[in-house]
Structure 1
């Protein structure tokens, strides 16, 4: 583990659940009766998974969420505590039910189908006393939101902004209250469909440019693409500089079409390399037709090519990726190293059933090249 991350506190606010995972030979048709080939009960929920990942990598996560005082709720808390996640800021309802999810994993397609039942009663800002909020944020290096519990999350986010604590937002899909949260974020990690759904842009690269223009606080936005890796657009600090400063710092003053730039980066990918790699452009003025121009750098991160015999379950792969990004930000990893690290962590998760079984620890041999080298800026 990087010394920069020893005892580093982060705070997460969002979903926890119990996952009931059933593996089947093939997804059933309507009215079918089939048997599972394996079954597992495990903790889940985006925030619970991402913070478990961050904890195993070496951070000290504190989680803000809610469960009921039922068997499932107690199991959720216990599993998080065993993995080093601080649950002392979670609300526990004496009545009601804890959230749970049925997950069907298709062995044939390696896909998963989720049926989620929210907990009741839902978390409200009154469930988090101001004193607990202030204690939770005390000493925190980073705050993370998964887009759930939006009313409580907004209160936490506004307090984090007051304390100048950076925010990472997981934008999985359009959700109630997400716009208010994402406006306060410093970093955004999106699922593949989100950028175009949120911006209405015709392509993902155009959508990323649009996001940076709409959200002036954002330092970078990443869109995850599953087995196709990820794309990241990072805003350049030169973005507001004058023409003279652009020349002095060697930044191209010519505008580059962002779609064409992505195509050129794609052509540079070495598809014979099975481990995660990263390719980036130089800092340039990126133009999206009909949208505008930002100064930044475009990155392509490849996913690990997992042999079919080793690929078990993709449940929670995005959460593992985000957990690794949280660690990489705290460890001041270079952007290229950050994307390769996150892809490696996500690939490790995919080699086991459930969102947490395959999450690696900082001592895992697959992470040795990242953990034993000096962090870079």
Structure 2
């Protein structure tokens, strides 16, 4: 089969990762066991995830004119990701401060940096080039680490160059109904599902993911997916289904699990897999990712996922 083409409009960051025995409590100082600086950002990670599974991936975004930006661009070129529409700005590259403990739990703080400079006009330039050259993308993939107005604008215009618009609404933020209606695949975790749906989250309140995913399905143009970490997840499209995490998985770092899942899910869908099968395969990709340290460095390749 011809390699599918994917456009990712998304973020870049330099992940500053530290490992600690436990995540510090309020007022507590913890000593880091290790420190590493690695390429990251949800857009970047998902682009690499799909490239490693065989897709031809192009990115729209921005990095700073600094060592971090040069590191990220070099890593993308090694992964054969097209970076012609990635702008280099005078400011700093986005930064993510990632802390991971011995239980594989993490906390992440992001600073947008150059990501905050991505504009609707920059997206329009990339889409105009696709139209002018007759390029039709098998999928356009977005997240919430860019300005949300840019995300909404991209979704409204990307229908001109693709029949599959994928939104990973992370970090959590409300999404206008007119935008959701254009989304073909919405991927969220439990917290993000509540925010997108506009639901309150009082402590101890009962929450049924099957009911929640069905409600989201009524608002999106196609498939709604809720990931539930080690509990698997649920999806609703033409039919509702669930998936589980492969047995025997011992997580050491969950940082890139969501991006591995999204990348593999999109890859499976554009290759014609049924939604439930694509989600189960995506769960396997996430399970592989959590068994290695780092986000992007842990993303699996096709030979490991489909062996």
Match of 1:305 among 247, 254, 275: 247
Match of 1:105 among 87, 100, 120: 100
1:253 match: none
Deviates more, 1:126-135 or 1:349-358: 126-135
Match of 2:263 among 323, 326, 334: 323
1:340 match: 280
Shift of 1:175: 2.4
Shift of 1:173: 4.5
The change in CA–CA distance for 1:300 and 1:352 in structure 2 (over 3 A counts) is same
2:145 match: 148
RMSD: 2.2
Shift of 1:37: 2.2
Structure 1 residue matching 2:113: 3-state secondary structure: coil
Q: How many residues align?
A: 296
Following the alignment from structure 1 to structure 2, what is the Cα–Cα distance between the partners of residues 207 and 363?
35
- Conserved in 2, the CA contact under 8 Å of 1:151 and 1:177? no
2:195 match: 197
Following the alignment from structure 1 to structure 2, what is the Cα–Cα distance between the partners of residues 359 and 129?
26
Structure 2 residue matching 1:90: 3-state secondary structure: strand
Whether 1:58 aligns to 2:54 is yes
Following the alignment from structure 1 to structure 2, what is the Cα–Cα distance between the partners of residues 189 and 316?
15
Shift of 1:314: 0.2
1:41 match: 37
1:165 match: 163
- Conserved in 1, the CA contact under 8 Å of 2:100 and 2:107? yes
2:204 match: none
TM-score w.r.t. the length of structure 2 is 0.88
Which entry has the higher C-alpha Rg, 1 or 2? 1
Following the alignment from structure 1 to structure 2, what is the Cα–Cα distance between the partners of residues 186 and 121?
24
Following the alignment from structure 1 to structure 2, what is the Cα–Cα distance between the partners of residues 129 and 188?
20
The change in CA–CA distance for 1:122 and 1:194 in structure 2 (over 3 A counts) is closer
